[in-house]
Every structure is written in structure tokens, then in C-alpha cells.
Amino acid sequence: MAEKVTFTIDGLTVQSPKGISILEAAKQVGIKIPYYCYHPGLSVVANCRMCLVEIEKIPKLQPSCGTAVAEGMVVRTQSPEALRNRQSVLEFLLINHPLDCPVCDQAGECELQNYYMDHGVYDPRFNENKKKRKKAFPIGPYVILDQERCILCTRCVRFTREISKTGELAVHDRGHLSEIDVFPGVDLNNPYSGNVVDICPVGALTDRDFRFQCRVWFLSSTSSVCPGCSRGCNIEIHVNEHFNPRYHDKRVPRLKPRFNPDVNGYWMCDEGRYSYPAIDAPNRLRAPRLRQGNGWQEVSWQEAIQKTAAALREALEIQGPTGVAVLASPQMSNEELFGLRQLFRDVLDVRNIEYRVPLRDKVYADDFLITADKNPNSRGAEALDLGGNGCEAVLRDCVEEQIRFLYICQHDLTRGFDEDQVVRALSKVQFVAYHGSRENRTAALANVQLPAAVYAEKDGTFTNIQGRVQRIRRAVAPLGQSLPDLEILELLARELGLEVQPGSPGEIFLQLAEQVPAFRGMSYESIGDLGQPMHSFGS
Amino acid sequence: MKILTKNMHVPNLREIGVYESLGGYQGLRKSLRDCKPNDIIEIVKKSGLRGRGGAGFPTGVKWGFVPKNTGKPIYLCVNADESEPGTFKDRLVIEKDPHLLLEGTIISAYALDCHLAFIYIRGEFSYGATVLEKAIEEAYSKGYLGKNILGSGYDLDLILHRGAGAYICGEETALLESLEGKRGHPRLKPPFPAVVGLYRCPTVINNVETLANVPHIINNGPEWYAAIGVERNTGTRLYAVSGHVNKPGVYELPMTVTLRELIYDHCGGIRNGRRLKAVIPGGSSVPILTADRVDTRMDYDSVAKAGSMLGSAGVVVMDESTCMVKAVRRITRFYAEESCGQCTQCREGTEWLYQILTRIEHGRGRAGELEILLDLCTQMKGRTICPLSDAAAMPVESYIKSFYDEFAAHITQQRCVILPAA
Ligand SMILES: Cc1cc2nc3c(=O)[nH]c(=O)nc-3n(C[C@H](O)[C@H](O)[C@H](O)COP(=O)(O)O)c2cc1C
Ligand code: SF4
Ligand code: SF4
């Protein structure tokens, strides 16, 4: 238990952990002190002077972001002097501001707008010409800077120095001539550059990608986890379901990082942030399809599942469980992997199951967030004990004509093996079922394509590289006729004549938690918004 | 009574031999021979010496704040950034008697248990830097600096660092940032430099004139020093007088001198027999004193009582031909240019003040704008990381309040109402 101090704020007697700032202590008891330069993930500079409060026995207002609470301290956040200061800081910040809110992308999530409601002057007295500065110019692949809107809080500068450690940005010149810019000849192109847009409290740094796509008040938000790598950064999926016909084919216009102190802090990488177009990408599989000679025919789910089940049954009849192999995917959720395991291993007694497919692509990884494993759930697959003798062995079995039915989930094998090798192997298999979300060279070799929903279209959990089980949630409906993986597996099981109890992902998870030791005792409630560590394996 | 300037007429005082022949470095010898570091702190406390850089903080007390035994090195930084308009006293010491500064620095460093000291000199002082560089070299070669100084076992290195031309680097924490190779941005306080200073180590920053007093205090004893001047305002000050006097210059006088004596007895009175209008008593940032305050004694406390500050003792004398709007506009421009730009009200406010004052001076002021100016000053004072914002606001506020009719006439008549000097 951290040491506590007792102090008074706006007449309320409060106990707070020793050493935290007045601003944070106030937040904890629901007292909001306005601020610009402060950010809990960055160093404290106290330069905006918005958060000044009155402290008894100290003659001058003090910055609540940079002053620690102390025993017996008496703080007033609403004193006339403190209120007048906020009003005045806002006035100073706005005298040279272009007031171009109608064409500003930040409108709706701008702290100048927000605080003005409470602390505005509403009676401007600035009679000079506003300063002209550079407007709307790209400073990197993802970020646009408008110097006129900048309030010089230096959050972006501190981010590039303290978090990305790349230092592309700086305050140039000084005094009233100060402006934010990249150093000459430098681009803001670090792997985490998009975060500066999130932390810019105003419309100075905007997202080149999201700009003018949608007014933010039309967006709804769903908590989820980025599937881009095994870090599993916590995110919000923003959905534009209600409005903007111009944008109807892009249901998800942006992703934002969601604070998780144990995983990603306040941040996420650009690769993950700008991965959202994959959700509505043209290469999504939208309907079940059967191979017809050299082409494909769209069919109903019923027909696709019937064909798949028939082929599976035949393989089992002719050769028994050894004639079947399954390539599960660490892109799938724990629940889905568990469902797959139940069906194939527990019921059909198939032993040839693997989930690891080597990737030959060169991948970027660092010691901050980005990991080399681009799958969100490898640890889950590992905990579910889905590893076999490796994908190479499966392909060898195919070539040796030991496999009559191959069920491939999500993988594109050609990213790990030569295409010739894959073609040769799959051509020796009587029936290849492809259960996945996108077209690729492996899906093209299958006999049936079963279109699966992507992470943003379903509920479930991923286990990240730290062994932390985290929830993904459905933000949009599955595209076209695609279905969440669990439902596909359920259809297949039914078609095989198995008794299946339909269950929600949450219910499946409870079964999983009962059967798999690493998940023992867990539930969606216990996982909550911030996740829960798995028990160490085998315990 | 002259202490710091008593030898300044001696030719080649800059040379170490000449300095030594006048008793130079005896204070250092005495300190190293007879005193423990703490003794010196006590002596300086007893002398009543107060900082000459602006705030007037008692020097010995400041030294006492430095925590010992933190395991970290302790640094001493000499603030030779002298850039406040109207202030040119440190320059005199640096250029004429550099060894006095060095001796004071070495004794003070010894008192602080400091083994690495810095002199941060204003970038524009290129001559002063050359002089100091040579003096430091001489001091090293004579064994006053370096290892085992005068056989005492005490080591001290001294580094001269030239600034790059920013006034704000005279503010002590901006100075530290600049020394560390960063932008000269004042730091948020607390923690104070005595605890967390240069490279996050305990650090003392002192003004040139402050340290130049130390050898004399050691040589003559704290009682002698404390007897000069008046209580709480001991010793002499280097008054840098400029403006409309017949004999501008640096005058060393005990702090018993009145403004009237300074102007009329020492500086030869007002030019061309004109009448006194106003005086800046302590550098451009302090509130102005009107002519009726001319009998104010020029010590810290009396000037404060008169409504201003002794500050850097840069005295700017203005006669009746001075336009107060023009004067304060020019001062405001300085602060607008020199604000580091961190704090909202200083960055935006200094320039806004300047814009309004410019219009008023050019006959384009509007009714009500004096009230706006006064309110802006209120909003700028006491709310920023360093006092530069106050330094910009205080003159504007005090000039308007002291010369309200003159400012108002500029607005109603839409022109300057002061006759240009003949
Ligand atoms: C904006 C600003 C500029 C300053 N410039 C100087 C300067 O040029 N020289 C100086 O000695 N002190 C300057 N000071 C005061 C220093 O911060 C500090 O108080 C002083 O160096 C301490 O030395 P002292 O105790 O010997 O006076 C300045 C302060 C401010 C706020
Ligand atoms: S660009 Fe945005 S984050 Fe950066 S200093 Fe300006 S307002 Fe702050
Ligand atoms: S008051 Fe002015 S000069 Fe001082 S830190 Fe703030 S912006 Fe910089």
C-alpha cells in the first residue's frame, strides 16, 4: 500500500497516494482541472499555465500538474483568481489562432473548443492582425501540421524525444515567433508517428489518412485489441455507421490507442493504426465459394458446408483420423482455437494439427511495442497445445499422399514456403478447405472457401506476448456473408451430425477456462477492459 | 568608499602580476590556509552580502541550502550573462579586473566543496571572454586553479562558457539548460538549483558582482563589510547609470546613497539643465520611479518601499523630453523578443502589449486600451515559469499608472504629446 497524504481540495477532504500531482489527485475524485501541455505519458513542463490552482499559504497560483499533493494542503481549483487565469490563458492562446473550426478536422475533439465553453471570454479585445504561419503541410507520411492552430504545448516534441526517441520535432525560433516544425531535411516518419495526432490537443497535427473523411461526432467507439502483432495494443475501433454516404465502403475510418498501463501505455504503432483498411478491403472473402474447374462459384453456406463435411467424412471413412490435417491460425481467438480443437481433436480424433507457419517476410520489431510475431494470439495457441510437428511436416504428409482432407485456417502458406512446394503439396490432397478472411494464393488453391469475419466483426480473446488475455469486441457486422469462425465451425459440426450446443464466445470461453489450465477461473468479467494474465503453463 | 573598483585605475590590472602586487589572491591564500569551507559560508552570512544579480537573496544563506554528502558533485556557476537593458556593471569587473572575479569564484567554490565551476558569459561580451580566458590561463599557471591549489590539497577546474545571445539565459535555470547544451528554457521550480541544478546535481548560481565581493570580505572580515551601508543592505553597489545625465558610467557607492546624490552629485546632474522626469532604478524590468521619488535611498529595501526594485542597479535617468509611451514600448519590444516562449501569457502577452503600445505611440490607440493593457499586465504577472513575464508587465503597468495622463493624451490626441528634445 502506497503512503497516503490527506489534503483538501475545493472543500473536499481527500486521501491520495503521496507524490502524485494535484491534477491527478483531483481527477481521481472527479474534479477536472483543465490543461493543455500536461500528458500523463510524458514529462511535466507546465508551460501552458492553464491548470494553475490556488494553494493556501502560497501567494502565487501554482501549476497543479507539477505540484505534488502534500499533507494538510488546501487547494482551490475554483477560486476567482484561478478561474480568471484560465480565461486569460485561453484568450492568449486564441489571439493568434485562425478560428478555422468549420474546416478543421479536430472540431469535436478540440480542447480549445471544449474549454472555451466553460472559460471563454466571449468578448474579444484583440485588435491586431493575427500572425500568419504555415498551414496544412505534411511533415511525414501520416501527419499534417498547421502551425497557425498550434498552441505550443510541446506534447508532440516531448513524444518524439521521450517515447519514440527519434526527436524529429522541435520548437523553432522563440517567444512569439516560436513554432513547431520538423528539423530541416527530416521527416516525421518514425514507426509511432501517428501518436502525435492523438496527443495534440488542438487541430495543429492532424491525420493525413483520416482528414476530411468524417466528422468525429458521427463516430461510435468499441474497445478492442490490435491484431497487428503479438503485443496486442489496446485500441478503440471507431465506426462510422450512421452517416456520410461518401464513405460508406469504409465502415471503420480510424483506430485509436486505448490506455493500458501493462501493455501499450497510451500508444500504438503506425503499422497497427493504419491497418484498419484491411477490415473493408477488396480482398476480403465475402461469400462461400466452390471451385468449378478453373473458376469459382458462389454458393450458399449450406452447400459449402455440405461439400466440406462430405469430403471430411469421406476422408475419415477411407483413412481414419490420420487422413485429416488442420492448420489452425494464431490469428484466431482463443475461443475459436478451442472450438477447432474440440471438433477436430476431441471429437474426430485428428492429431495432425499445427498452427505455426513460418513467415519469410522481413519483419520490423523493436524494444518498445512492435514484436516480430505478427500474430495476435500465438501464446493462446501455444497454451491450447495446438502445436504439432511443424507446417513443413504437414506439407510433407500431403506430398506423400497421407492427407485426404486439409483444413487451412487464415494462413497463406506461400508466405512461408515456395509457391511450387505449396502447389505440389496441396494438389496431392483430395479436398482442401480454406477457412479465412481474405483471398490469397493459398485460398486460390482450395476446393472450398469459407469466408470468416475479421477481429473487428466478432467477440473473443487474444493472448498477447506477455501471456495477457485481452478481449476483442464486435464493432461492425461481418462483411457480406462472412461469419465469425465459431459459427463456421458450428455449422460444420452440425453437418457432421454432431450434437452441438450453440454458445456465445463468452460461454465458450467459460468452457475453455474449465478445461485449459492456463485459463482456469477466468471469465470475460474477470478479464475486463484491461486484460488478465494467464496462469503459467501447466499449473 | 570603493571596494571593487578601488584598483581599476591601475594600468594592466588584468595581468596577474599586477593584481598580485596589489594584494591579489591573498584572500584565497587566507581562505585555504585558515578556513574550513563552512567557515567561509559563515563569514559570508555574517557579512550580510546579498545577491547582485537581481533578486537580492542573501548569498551565504543560499550557499547553506546546498545539501552536502549527496554523493553528487556540487557545481558553481558564475552568472556573467549581464543582458538586462541599462545594466553594465559586471562587464566592468570582467574587463578591468578579471582576477578579482576569479579569486572570488575560487574562494566561493572552496566554500561550497565544488571542484568544477563555470563562468557563463554573455555571447556578445567577446572582449570580456578573451580577457577572462587569458586570466584563467594565468591562474592555472600560477597554481590558483587546477590540482592541489597552493598546496592545500583542494582541486578546482574552471570552464568559461560563452552564451549564444539570449537574454533569458541570464535566468539561472535557463542558464543551466544552456550550459547543458539545450535550449535556454527556464525550468519549473521547485526543485531549486541548490538541490537539483546542473546535470541534476546541487548547484549555486551567483552574479559576477556578488562573487567579486567575496575576496574583500575574507581579507577585511565580515564585520568590516557589514559596517558599510545600512542594515540588511551591506557593502557597496556598482550603480550603472545611463540616460540623460551629464556623466553616465558605473559608480561604486555604499547603499546609503540617495537617488538625488547619485544623479546630481556623482553623475553631474541632468543633461542640458533639463528637469528630471523619471528613473528606472534597477534595470529595465523594474517599475519606474517618478521624479518626486528622487530622495529614495538606493538600497534594496528603500527602493522596494518606494514601489520599485533595486534589481541589477542599472539606473536609467529620463528627463522631461522623454516620451513615456515610446520608452516603455521600446522596453516591451525587448521582452517580446527575449521571451523564451514557453509560457502562454509571456509568449503571447509580451507581443500583444508591444502591438498595442506601438499603435498608441503612432497615434492609433483606441479608447479603453489603457485598461486593456493594465489588465493584460495583471494576467501576465506571477503566473509563469520564470519572472520574465513579470519583467515585461511591470514596466508597462507602472509607466501607465505613473504617467496616465500622458498615455491618455496620446490616445485622445492621436499623436505624441512630448516635444522632441531640442
Ligand atoms: C529573465 C531574467 C534574466 C536574468 N538575467 C541575469 C543576468 O544577466 N545576470 C545575473 O547575474 N542574474 C540574472 N538574473 C537573475 C538570476 O536568475 C539569478 O537570480 C542570479 O544570477 C543569482 O545570483 P545572485 O544571487 O548572486 O544575485 C536574471 C533573472 C531573470 C528572471
Ligand atoms: S502541434 Fe499540437 S502537440 Fe505539438 S505543440 Fe502544437 S499544439 Fe502541442
Ligand atoms: S515567463 Fe517567459 S521567459 Fe520565462 S519561462 Fe515563461 S515564457 Fe519563458
Q: Which residues have a Cβ under 8 Å from the Cβ of A162 and sit 6 or more positions away? A: A42, A43
Binding-site residues, ligand 3, Cβ < 6 A: B 168, 186, 339-343, 346-347, 384-386, 388-389
Contact A174 B340 (CB under 8 A): yes
Is residue B312 within 8 A of residue B280, CB to CB? The reply is no
pLDDT above 70 (res A248) = no
Pick the residue whose CA is nearest to atom 4 on ligand 3: B386
Is the pLDDT reported for residue B217 higher than 60?
A: yes
Nearest CA in chain B to A87: B379
Q: Hey, what's the cell of B412?
A: 485622445
- Domain boundary (B319, B350, B372) is at B319
Q: Are residues B291 and B392 in the same domain?
A: no
A190 part of a folded domain: yes
Q: What is the domain-level CATH number for residue A398?
A: 3.40.50.740
Q: Is residue A391 part of a domain?
A: yes
Look at residue A463 and tell me whether its pLDDT is greater than 60.
yes
Question: Could you tell me if A275 and A294 lie in one domain?
Answer: no
Same domain? For B306 and B393 the reply is no
Sort out which chain A residues have CB atoms less than 8 A from B339's CB and list them. 174-176
Residues B247 and B258 in one domain: yes
Q: Domain ends where: A280, A313, A329?
A: A280
Q: What is the pLDDT averaged over residues A160-173?
A: 97
Tell me the three state secondary structure of residue A515.
helix
Is residue B1, in this structure, part of any structural domain at all? no
Q: Kindly indicate the confidence band of residue A438, based on its pLDDT and cuts at 50, 70 and 90.
A: very high
Show the cell assigned to A353: 494439427
In angstroms, the separation between the Cα of residue B408 and the nearest Cα of chain A is 18
Same domain, B217 and B148: yes
Give a yes or no: residue B198 inside a domain: yes
Q: How far apart are CA A431 and CA B379, in angstroms?
A: 79
When CB atoms are compared, the residue of B338, B339, B348 closest to A96 is B348
Inter-chain residue contact A174 with B166, CB threshold 8 Å: yes
pLDDT in tens, B330-381: 999 999 999 999 999 999 999 999 999 999 999 999 999 999 999 999 999 9
Q: Rounded to the nearest 5°, which phi and psi values hold at B176? A: -65, -45
- CB of B349 closer than 6 angstroms to any ligand 1 atom: no
Query: Chain B within 8 Å of A123 (Cβ-Cβ)?
Result: no
pLDDT tens string A349-403:
999 999 999 888 889 999 999 999 999 999 999 999 998 899 999 999 999 999 9
Chain A residues whose beta carbon lies within 8 Å of the beta carbon of residue B366: 127
Same domain? For A40 and A149 the reply is: no
Together in a domain, B37 and B182: yes
Residue pair B93/B135 in contact (Cβ under 8 Å)? The answer is no
C-alpha–C-alpha distance, residues A497 and A363, integer Å: 43
Q: Is A72 exposed, middle or buried (0-12, 13-18, 19+ CB in 10 A)?
A: exposed
pLDDT digits (tens, 9 = 90+) for B229-261: 999 999 999 999 999 999 999 999 999 999 999
Number of helices (H) and strands (E) in chain B: give both, helices first: 17, 11
Task: Give the mean pLDDT of chain A.
Answer: 95
CA of A407 to the centre of ligand 1 (A): 77
Give mean pLDDT, residues B104-122.
98
At A60-93, the pLDDT tens digits run 999 999 999 999 999 999 999 999 999 999 999 9
Helix (H, G, I), strand (E, B) or coil at A462: strand
Mutate to test the interface with B, among A87, A92, A131, A157 (most CBs of B within 10 A): A92
Cβ-Cβ contacts under 8 Å between A and B: the total is: 88
CA distance B316 to chain A (A): 26
User: Which residues have C-beta within 8 Å of that of residue A102, sequence separation ≥ 6?
Assistant: none
* Closest residue in A to B377 (Cα–Cα): A88
pLDDT value for A539: 37
Question: What DSSP element (H or E) covers A9?
Answer: strand A4-9
Residue B308 shares a structural domain with residue B357: no
Residue B240 lies in a domain: yes
pLDDT level of residue B214 (50, 70, 90 thresholds): very high
Per the listing, cell 573598483 goes with B5
Q: Is A506 on the interface with B (CB under 8 A)?
A: no
Opening angle at CA B107, ends B106 and B111, nearest 5 = 115
Give the per-residue pLDDT at A1: 59
Longest CA pairwise span in chain A (Å): 90
Please report, for the domain that includes residue B193, its CATH number: 3.40.50.11540
Predicted TM-score (pTM) of this structure: 0.95
Residues present in chain B in total: 422
Task: Give chain A positions within 8 Å (CB) of B183.
Answer: 171, 174
Does pLDDT of A245 surpass 80?
Answer: no
Q: Is residue A244 predicted with pLDDT exceeding 70?
A: no
For residue B379, give the nearest of A59, A88, A127 by CB distance: A88
What's the half-sphere exposure (Cβ side, CA atoms, 13 Å) at B366? 7
Environment class of A184 (CB within 10 Å of its CB; exposed 0-12, middle 13-18, buried 19+): exposed
A-chain residue closest to B369, CA distance:
A125
Is residue B350 located within the same domain as residue B246?
no
H/E run at residue A144: strand A143-145
Residue B137 lies inside a defined structural domain of this protein: yes
The CATH number for A42's domain is: 3.10.20.740
Helix (H, G, I), strand (E, B) or coil at A472: strand
Q: ipTM of this predicted complex?
A: 0.95
Same domain, B379 and B361: yes
In a domain, A528, yes or no: no
Work out the angle at residue A351's Cα, subtended by the Cα atoms of residues A349 and A356, and round it to the nearest 5 degrees: 140
How confident is the model at residue A246, as a pLDDT? 58
Q: How many structural domains does chain A have? A: 3
Query: Per-residue pLDDT tens for B58-100?
Result: 999 999 999 989 999 999 999 999 999 999 999 999 999 999 9
Residue B371 domain boundaries: 324-412
| One domain for residues A245 and A356 | no
Distance, in Å, from the CA atom of B350 to the CA atom of B342, rounded to the nearest integer, reads 12
Which ligand ends up closest to the CA of B351? 3
Chain A residues in contact with B188 by the CB 8 A cut-off are: 44-46, 63, 66
**B175 in the same domain as B238:** no
Q: Is B347 found in the same domain as B258?
A: no
Q: pLDDT tens digit string along A13-34?
A: 999 999 999 999 999 999 999 9
Contacts of B335 (CB under 8 A, 6+ apart): B285, B350, B388, B391, B392
Q: What is the pLDDT of residue B420?
A: 66
Residues A192, A340, single domain; the answer is no
* Contact across the interface for B342 and A47, Cβ inside 8 Å: yes
Long-range contacts of B17-25, Cβ-Cβ distance < 8 Å, separation of 24 or more:
B19/B97, B19/B99, B19/B100, B23/B219, B24/B99, B24/B100, B24/B103, B25/B99, B25/B103, B25/B142, B25/B144
Among B192, B334, B344, the residue to mutate for chain A (most A Cβ within 10 A)? B344
CA of B347 to the centre of ligand 3 (A): 7
Give pLDDT, residue A214: 86
The verdict on residue B27 lying in a domain is yes
DSSP one-letter code for B408: H
pLDDT attached to residue A126:
95
Q: Which residues of B touch A44 (CB under 8 A)?
A: 188
Give, in order, the Cα–Cα distances in Å from B284 to each of B173, B240, B327, B361, B380. Answer: 21, 12, 10, 19, 17
pLDDT at A229 exceeding the cut of 70: yes
A362 or B18: which leads in pLDDT? B18
Helix (H/G/I), strand (E/B), else coil: B355: helix
Average pLDDT of A164-177?
97
| DSSP classification of residue B291 | G
Do A478 and A400 sit in the same domain of this protein? yes
Q: Which of B284, B301, B319 is the last residue of a domain?
A: B319
Least Cα distance to A531 among A261, A228, A227 occurs for A261
Q: What range does the domain containing A27 cover?
A: 4-94
The pLDDT score that the predictor gives to residue A243 is 56
Of B121, B42, B41, the C-alpha closest to B77 is: B121
Q: Could you tell me where the DSSP H helices lie in B52-190?
A: 59-64, 89-96, 98-112, 126-141, 172-179
Residues of A in contact with B385 (CB under 8 A): 46-47
Q: Which protein residue has the closest C-alpha to ligand 1 atom 25?
A: B51
CB A23 within 8 A of CB A50: no
User: Beta-carbon neighbour count of residue B413 at 10 Å?
Assistant: 11
**Does residue B3 lie within any of the structural domains?**
no
A179 to chain B: nearest residue by CA? B341
pLDDT digits (tens, 9 = 90+) for A95-145: 999 999 999 999 999 999 999 999 998 888 999 999 999 999 999 999 999
- Same domain (yes/no): A373, A482: yes
A537 confidence band (pLDDT: 50, 70, 90): low
Per residue in A33-53, pLDDT (tens digit) is: 999 999 999 999 999 999 999
Residue ending a domain, choose from A257, A280, A303: A280
Whether B419 has a pLDDT exceeding 90, the answer reads no
The number of folded domains in chain B is 3
Domain contains A250: yes
Q: Mark out chain B residues that contact chain A at CB-CB < 8 A.
A: 166, 168, 183, 188, 336-345, 347-352, 355-356, 359, 366, 369, 372, 379, 382-385
Average pLDDT, integer, range A169-184? 97
